Chains A and B, each alone.
Chain A
Amino acid sequence: MIVSGKELIARRIAKELQDGQIVNLGIGLPTMVANYLPKEVEIFLQSENGFIGIGPTPPEGQHDKDLINAGNQFVSIKPGGSFFDSAASFGIIRGGHVDVTVLGTLEVDSEGNIANYIIPGKLIAGMGGAMDLCTGAKHVIIATTHTDKHGKPKILKKCRLPLTACKEADIIVTDMAFIERTENGLVLREIAPDTTVENVLSKTEADLIIPPDGVKTMAV
């Protein structure tokens, strides 16, 4: 099976999640990660609007008016789930009780800075819970296409847009590469099956370190 694009990103991130973890998935592509979890891995999805245990979207006609995720989609709650107010929800997030958050981004840079909430003069959506999630979650995984819709790199030497959080990105997974942030900089661990290291480097503005044991092919 050849997997590419967003599905590749979601499948690769799903492999990073471990049994029993509390995970918050951002809107859009990150939400897809839940579809590809290995059978033996059970995670607890936190929804910042106030619950743990997000379940699948119910069929049309069985939606509950009081049960949406943070992306305004109707969802369900799994057995064992629980509801709480927004202060408790962000206590959970800020307090380091969320193991992993997966977020999309506009830009991310070599220091792990993340910019994903505002394009001055163009897009002013607001940061929602993203700043708290990036700051509070133990592990921040960025899920993004490698380049923007004009083909320009999104992984930069230094973010140019206003930041969502400083030095918080731990792993960046794109349709071309799996990149880990270390003290020395960004390390290119894996590349997509349909690309080359040279191609990844040419579409990345940030410097990428090639590890001594080589770059692997992303297995999903």
Chain B
Amino acid sequence: MNKVRTIEEAVSRIEDGASIMLGGFMAVGTPEKLIDATIKKGVKNLTIICNDAATPGAGAGKFVDARVIKRYITNHIGLNPVFGKQMREGEVEVILTPQGTFAERIRAGGAGLGGFLTPTGVGTLVQEGKEVITIEGKDYLLELPLTADVALIKAHRADRSGNLVFRKAARNFNPLMATACQYVIVEAEHIEDVGTIDPDAVMLPGIFIDAVVQG
């Protein structure tokens, strides 16, 4: 099955108010061209789910600069002063989640789990409003799965059916987010024919991918 699309075709399904998971860690492993195309399409009131807010002009920071975000689910925003200002002025609602909990909520969302128990955040602000469950004398927080409408992810290699290979630290949240969203677009540095990637080397099976675009 050939899932290769033009960028414009691929992002045409993203609508106002969409929730978008965005791969990357400080813009490493972030699909920059997909962000540019999504902003160009003119969508707004987005919920962005991304590890961090990157820096102005880079990665997730471009969504911040374009002022198209309503809600941001993340764990670190300290390196983007533009975002900090928007947050203080109430322009963007921010939900902070510990990074490990953030990753696992996405994994749970893609793996059909109803939630999980983590010791992270017990006795902190993160505990507020959450159920505490004690197992063998130890307290855990019940954390719920996280899913979204769209995933924008980045890979090093993709075949035309969406089998992916990531590169170095650019893997981060990309393979997780691809499992947890209704519609998944991958921006790949190299697009190859089916069969060129050894099945043993595939890091994310193509079944999770809806569209492949050239990075």
Q: B residues within 8 A CB of A123?
A: 78
What 1/0 flags go to B160-204 for Cβ under 8 Å of A?
Answer: 000000111111111110000000000000000000000000000
- Give the complex CA separation of A123 and B79 in angstroms: 11
Contact A127 B106 (CB under 8 A): no
Residue pair A68, B25 in contact (C-beta under 8 Å): yes
The 7 closest A-B pairs by CB, nearest first: A125-B78, A90-B100, A132-B100, A166-B123, A126-B76, A131-B98, A66-B168
Assess the A85–B77 pair: CB atoms within 8 A.
no
Contacts of A67 in B (CB 8 A): 28, 168-169
What CA separation (Å) do A122 and B26 show in the bound complex? 22
By beta carbon, the residue of chain B nearest A90 is B100
**Alpha-carbon distance A132/B75, docked complex (angstroms):** 12
Separation in Å of the B59 CB from the closest CB of chain A? 11
Which residues of chain A have C-beta atoms less than 8 A from B166's C-beta?
Answer: 83, 85
Chain B 113-150, CB-CB to A under 8 Å as 1, else 0, gives: 00000111111111000000000000000000000000
Q: Is A145 an interface residue (CB 8 A)?
A: no
A126 to B122, CA, bound (A): 16
Most buried by B among A65, A87, A118: A87
What are the residues of chain A within 8 A of B106 when measuring CB–CB? 87
Does chain B have a CB within 8 A of A162? Answer: yes
Does any Cβ of B come within 8 Å of A105's Cβ? no
Residues of A within 8 A of B (CB): 47-51, 64-68, 70, 72, 77, 83-87, 89-90, 93-94, 118, 123-132, 135-136, 162-166
Judging by beta carbons under 8 Å apart, are B176 and A87 in contact?
Answer: yes
Among residues 88 to 129 in chain B, which have CB atoms less than 8 Å away from a CB atom of chain A? 94, 96, 98-101, 103-104, 106-107, 118-126
- Shortest beta-carbon distance, A66 to chain B, in Å? 4
Can you sample 27 A-B contacts with CB below 8 Å?
Answer: A50-B169, A50-B171, A66-B28, A66-B168, A66-B170, A83-B169, A85-B103, A86-B51, A86-B103, A89-B103, A93-B100, A94-B118, A94-B119, A94-B120, A124-B84, A124-B87, A124-B94, A125-B77, A126-B76, A129-B100, A131-B120, A132-B120, A135-B119, A136-B100, A136-B119, A136-B120, A162-B125
List the A side residues contacting B169 at CB < 8 Å. Answer: 47, 49-51, 66-68, 83
B61 at the interface (CB under 8 A from A): no
Separation in Å of the A170 CB from the closest CB of chain B? Answer: 16
Per the bound structure, the CA–CA distance linking A127 and B84 in Å amounts to 14
Residue of A nearest to B203 (CB): A85
CB atoms of B98 and A127 under 8 A apart: yes
Chain B residues within 8 Å of A70, by CB: 25
Contacts of B123 in A (CB 8 A): 163, 165-166
User: Nearest residue in A to B97 (C-beta to C-beta)?
Assistant: A127
